[in-house]
Structure 1
């Protein structure tokens, strides 16, 4: 240990009081960092659990959406040209917010619907029920995808914070 790392202490009451205050400050700082670390660990374990659950549910929802697409194509024929012609603006949009967990800012995505449904009359002649089911299933899939993206961005943010060496 080099001489510059040592703190020069003279045997006096004032030096003892100063050292006790420094020790108390160091212990308080360590305890605060420990609490922050524990809070982040708990939160990110919850996030990982939710990611796994959402991915499992995502497989099921995408399977249902693919089957409903096949049903709609079978009953209503090829409706892709109608859909392409009616596209003006996105109906489902994503809003980004910030969430604060123990001093760490995490992004949160949430979806919202804007405007009216421009495909209300699509499938009026035939296959309307299957097209409505198709819209519901894909809306649910988009909702889950936004939730999954939000969770994964939170996890990536945590990994970046860990790699920077900060708690």
Structure 2
């Protein structure tokens, strides 16, 4: 043990009581941080599972959406100019909320529709069914994309919070570890080390 690891203290009963209280406080803090780390890790694994599920769904939904776009173009012709002319503002918007997990604030995104469907009459002459299927498929794709963005943002935030919390737990364990080390079980100054 080097000189910088020692705490300058007068060996008395009062100093022993103070050191015991400091050690107990450090152990309590470590236990609380460990519980926080466990809670964050559990949520991290849940989010990871949801990300994997959402990405697999995303492949299917995007494939269906691309196929329905090809069907709609085949039956209704090129309707892109009609769609571009009818756009005045966004129909689907994203709202951001916050979720709290063990003191860590996670962003949560949710999509919502604003206003009516300005493309109701598109494809009335021909291909109306394919266009409505196209709208449904792409609405589902947007919903999944927003959910995936929310999950991935939470994933990155939780990963950083877990690293910081584990770093703090390890620092406290490193500082308080010497009192339980077998070499120091027979203290040089009985009043400084707590009884085992």
Instruction: Name which one, 1 or 2, has greater alpha-carbon Rg.
Output: 2
Structure 2 residue ranges without an equivalent (≥5):
153-195
SS at match of 2:78: coil
SS at match of 1:50: helix
SS at match of 2:115: coil
Counterpart residue number, 1:11: 11
CA apart distance, 1:69 = 0.6
- How many aligned positions are there? 153
CA apart distance, 1:2 = 4.2
CA apart distance, 1:5 = 3.2
Aligned-residue RMSD, C-alpha: 2.6
d(CA) in 1 for partners of 2:146 and 2:119? 22
CA apart distance, 1:20 = 1.2
CA apart distance, 1:85 = 0.6
CA apart distance, 1:11 = 3.4
Q: Give the ranges of 4+ consecutive aligned residues of structure 1 lying more than 6 Å apart after TM superposition.
A: none
Alignment of 1:36-51 (within 5 A): 36-51=36-51
More moved, 95-104 vs 5-14: 5-14
TM-score by length of 1: 0.87
CA apart distance, 1:99 = 1.2
Structure 1 residue ranges without an equivalent (≥5):
153-166
